[in-house]
């Protein structure tokens, strides 16, 4: 081992592009926005990128990101009309972003009163900076990079007591056709007391090539609000997706998350939830389907900060080829959070002996009257079940597919929102049929 092996952070040359770019970023005319961006760029420069010596990055290497010479994605990207076809949610309100910029219209027609959608480009152009103050604003290097380079995204506000039946559907498309490009978008969600809405967020490729998607999602749920948040990571085969989601949940509010990852050469999805009021709750569910040399990292942290908070988490994965997955699930119960309940489960099916999963549950409990549990299981296809299917004339491949589908479907069947469940089933079927990850169909 060389001396450099102990290095915990490496400089990320991409940050140096900020100086030349700053004047052309949205909001450049507003000193408050400029100051915010400059501070973030400085923080990102100082932080560099974590190496695997830094505990939360122990199983995921960022070398591929460090070694690629990224350009901020060009705004000249083609519109996405064709790319977005075949991926529609009936009755949903949809916005499409291509290479980090809104493509197409943004009318709020059909949305009920009390729902406000503002693109971040518009918010920045008028000098807003309140988008930067939420749960995801901590000293995370990828949040700092996002703040510095941010081009667009969405601020979604739902007023007190407004329950929206129609899901908001966000499609983020990336392309590396014009050279390795970096895409920085942010999704800010603020639900006032008693508000409720479902958001479907999908990330996919609109073209071939290497790109790096750096999305940040910042969510604040006031008392009694409810957010259903489904995220589909279907990035292109050469893409890197490194996402941070921060969520604050007030008393009696509920955050309901489902993350399905099928795409990306490297996908890291980090979710940090703070249950910050009595009876606040969250459900974090996820499904990861990896093949070839994909690396899929789901890292979650749930902080029970107040009494009687509840969290349940189930992540299931299927890996074949040389795919590698990471599950890190941390549950923290703070001293005040008596009578809290935290449950976590991670199950992975390995279809090849070269596939790998690193699973790391962590319970950190500082209160005595709590219920917490976690479990992890790693297995192969059940030989008896497969034999039973084959004994009925079903081929080994199809039988395996049926059993994998059954394993994954258990989680999808638990999704309350029908449109999300049906999108998830569609992605699962496409993956089982062997379609390349990251297609936009």
Partner 1 sequence: MLQIKNLHASVGGKAILNGLDLTLPKGEVHAIMGPNGSGKSTLAFLLAGREGYEVTAGGVTYEGRDLLAMAPEERAREGLFLAFQYPIEIPGVPTASFLKTAVNAVRKARGLPQYDAVEFLKILKAKRDFLGIGDDMLRRALNVGFSGGEKKRAEVLQMLLLEPRLAVLDETDSGLDIDALRIVAEGINALRSPDRAILLITHYQRLLDYVVPDRVHVLTGGRIERSGGKELAQELERQGYVGTAA
List residues near partner 1 by CB under 8 A: 383-385, 387-396, 398-399, 402-403, 405-407, 409-410
Identity of the residue, 111 or 402, whose beta carbon is nearer to partner 1 in the bound complex: 402
Identity of the residue, 42 or 405, whose beta carbon is nearer to partner 1 in the bound complex: 405
- Smallest distance from partner 1 to CB 403, Å: 7
- Smallest distance from partner 1 to CB 412, Å: 10
- Smallest distance from partner 1 to CB 405, Å: 7
- Smallest distance from partner 1 to CB 286, Å: 17
Query: What is the DSSP code (8-state) at residue 294?
Result: -
**Owner of token pair 């667009």:** 152
Inter-helix orientation angle 396-412/383-390, to 10°: 120
- Smallest distance from partner 1 to CB 382, Å: 8
Q: Both tokens of residue 272?
A: 């940090």
Identity of the residue, 35 or 429, whose beta carbon is nearer to partner 1 in the bound complex: 429
Identity of the residue, 264 or 399, whose beta carbon is nearer to partner 1 in the bound complex: 399
In 3-state terms the chain splits into helix, strand, coil percentages (rounded to 5) of: 20, 40, 35
Identity of the residue, 1 or 383, whose beta carbon is nearer to partner 1 in the bound complex: 383
DSSP 131-193: GGSSTT-SS-HHHHHHHHH--EEEEEEE-TT-B--SPEEEEEEEEEEEEEEEE-EEEEEEE-T
- Smallest distance from partner 1 to CB 259, Å: 20
Identity of the residue, 292 or 388, whose beta carbon is nearer to partner 1 in the bound complex: 388
Inter-helix orientation angle 31-47/141-149, to 10°: 140
- Smallest distance from partner 1 to CB 324, Å: 25
d(CA 187, CA 175): 20
CA angle at 278 for the pair 273 and 281, rounded to the nearest 5°: 40
φ and ψ at residue 23, rounded to 5 degrees = -65, -20
Inter-helix orientation angle 418-432/396-412, to 10°: 160
Identity of the residue, 3 or 383, whose beta carbon is nearer to partner 1 in the bound complex: 383
The partner residues of 96 in beta bridges, in order of sequence, read: 103, 171
Alpha carbon separation from 401 to 251, 381, 384 (Å, rounded): 43, 10, 15
Q: Which of 256, 205, 214 is nearest to 235 (CA)?
A: 205
Residue 18: burial class (beta carbons within 10 Å; 0-12, 13-18, 19+): buried
Identity of the residue, 336 or 388, whose beta carbon is nearer to partner 1 in the bound complex: 388
- Smallest distance from partner 1 to CB 389, Å: 8
Identity of the residue, 90 or 393, whose beta carbon is nearer to partner 1 in the bound complex: 393
- Smallest distance from partner 1 to CB 147, Å: 43
């Amino acid at each position: 081992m060389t001396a450099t092996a102990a290095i915990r952070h490496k400089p990320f040359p991409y940050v140096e592009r900020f100086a030349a770019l700053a004047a052309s970023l949205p909001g450049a005319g507003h000193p408050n926005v400029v100051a915010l961006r400059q501070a973030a760029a400085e923080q990102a420069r100082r932080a560099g990128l974590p190496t695997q010596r830094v505990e939360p990055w122990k199983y995921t290497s960022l070398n591929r990101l460090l070694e690629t010479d990224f350009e901020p994605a060009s705004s000249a990207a083609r519109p996405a009309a064709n790319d977005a076809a075949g991926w529609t949610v009936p009755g949903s309100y949809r916005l499409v972003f291509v290479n980090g910029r809104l493509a197409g219209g943004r009318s709020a027609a059909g949305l009920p009163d009390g729902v406000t959608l503002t693109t971040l480009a518009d918010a920045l152009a008028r000098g807003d900076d309140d988008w930067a103050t939420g749960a995801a604003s901590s000293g995370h290097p990828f949040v700092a990079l996002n703040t510095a380079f941010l081009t667009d995204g969405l601020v979604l506000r739902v007023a007190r007591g407004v329950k929206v039946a129609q899901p908001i559907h966000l499609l983020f498309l990336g392309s590396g056709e014009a050279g390795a490009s970096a895409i920085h978008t942010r999704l800010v969600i603020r639900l006032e007391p008693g508000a409720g809405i479902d958001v479907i967020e999908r990330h996919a490729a609109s073209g071939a090539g290497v790109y790096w998607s750096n999305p940040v999602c910042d969510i604040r749920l006031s008392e009694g609000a409810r957010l259903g948040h489904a995220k589909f990571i279907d990035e292109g085969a050469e893409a890197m997706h490194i996402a941070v989601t921060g969520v604050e949940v007030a008393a009696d509010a509920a955050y309901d998350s489902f993350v399905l990852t099928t795409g990306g050469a490297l996908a890291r999805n980090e979710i940090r939830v703070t249950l910050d009021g009595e009876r606040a709750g969250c459900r974090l569910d996820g499904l990861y389907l990896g093949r070839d040399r994909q690396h899929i990292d789901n890292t979650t942290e749930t902080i029970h900060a107040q009494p009687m908070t509840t969290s349940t988490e189930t992540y299931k994965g299927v890996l074949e080829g040389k795919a590698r997955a990471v599950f890190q699930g941390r549950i923290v119960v703070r001293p005040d959070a008596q009578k809290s309940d935290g449950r976590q489960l991670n199950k992975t099916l390995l279809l090849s002996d070269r596939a790998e999963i690193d699973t790391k549950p962590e319970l950190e409990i500082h209160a005595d009257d709590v219920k917490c549990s976690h479990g992890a299981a790693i297995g192969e296809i059940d030989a008896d079940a497969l034999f039973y299917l084959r004994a009925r004339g079903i081929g080994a491949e199809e039988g395996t597919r049926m059993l994998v589908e059954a394993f994954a479907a258990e989680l999808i069947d638990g999704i309350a929102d029908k449109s999300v469940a049906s999108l998830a089933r569609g992605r699962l079927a496409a993956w089982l049929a062997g379609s390349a990850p990251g297609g936009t169909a």
